[in-house]
Amino acid sequence: MLYWIRAGELATGQRPGYKPGSEFTVRRHEVEAWVEEKRGAGIVSIICLLGGDQLPLYTRALPQGLLAFYAESGFDVANIATPDGLAEPFTSQQYEDAWLAFQRLPKPVLVHCSAGHDRTGRIVDYLLARLENGA
């Protein structure tokens, strides 16, 4: 699923293979289908917020790793890695890193964590505030 925040510029979504509940290894065909869906929606860049607790879910299916697979699939990629489940997941530097990544990446940019809510919402709120302030 993909949600446009600013049409043609900024979107959010879930990670490939996300299912509520316990986390399991993600299969390659799930990632490939996710990539095709996002590419079909016009996404050209990804800001991935997954950290070392969730990126390993992809190593069995994608020995090169999820981020490298994104790049091999033609996306420009940035990773602002932070673990899931933290009350305050990002440092001020990570927010700034996300802003700098958003500025340099070709648009439209998809921001995703796991479910596409908590971490993603915090980063998108920060990006929108910076955009509204003309930063």
| 60-115 confidence digits (pLDDT tens) | 999 999 999 999 999 999 999 999 988 899 999 999 999 999 999 999 999 999 99
Q: Is the pLDDT of residue 135 over 80?
A: no
The residues near 89 (Cβ < 8 Å, ≥ 6 apart) are: 82, 83, 118, 119, 122
Own/partner long-range contacts of 27-30 (Cβ < 8 Å, ≥24 apart): 27/61, 28/61, 28/62, 30/61
- Please, which residues have CB within 8 angstroms of residue 16's CB and are 6 or more apart in sequence? 26, 30, 31, 33, 34, 35, 58, 66
0.75 exceeded by pTM:
yes
**pLDDT tens digits for range 3-27:** 999 999 999 999 999 887 777 889 9
Q: At what angle do helices 118-132 and 92-104 cross, to 10 degrees?
A: 70
Say yes or no to pLDDT of 32 above 90: yes
In the chain the domains, ranked by start, together with CATH numbers, are: 2-132 (3.90.190.10)
User: 124 pLDDT exceeds 80?
Assistant: yes
Determine the pLDDT at residue 14. 95
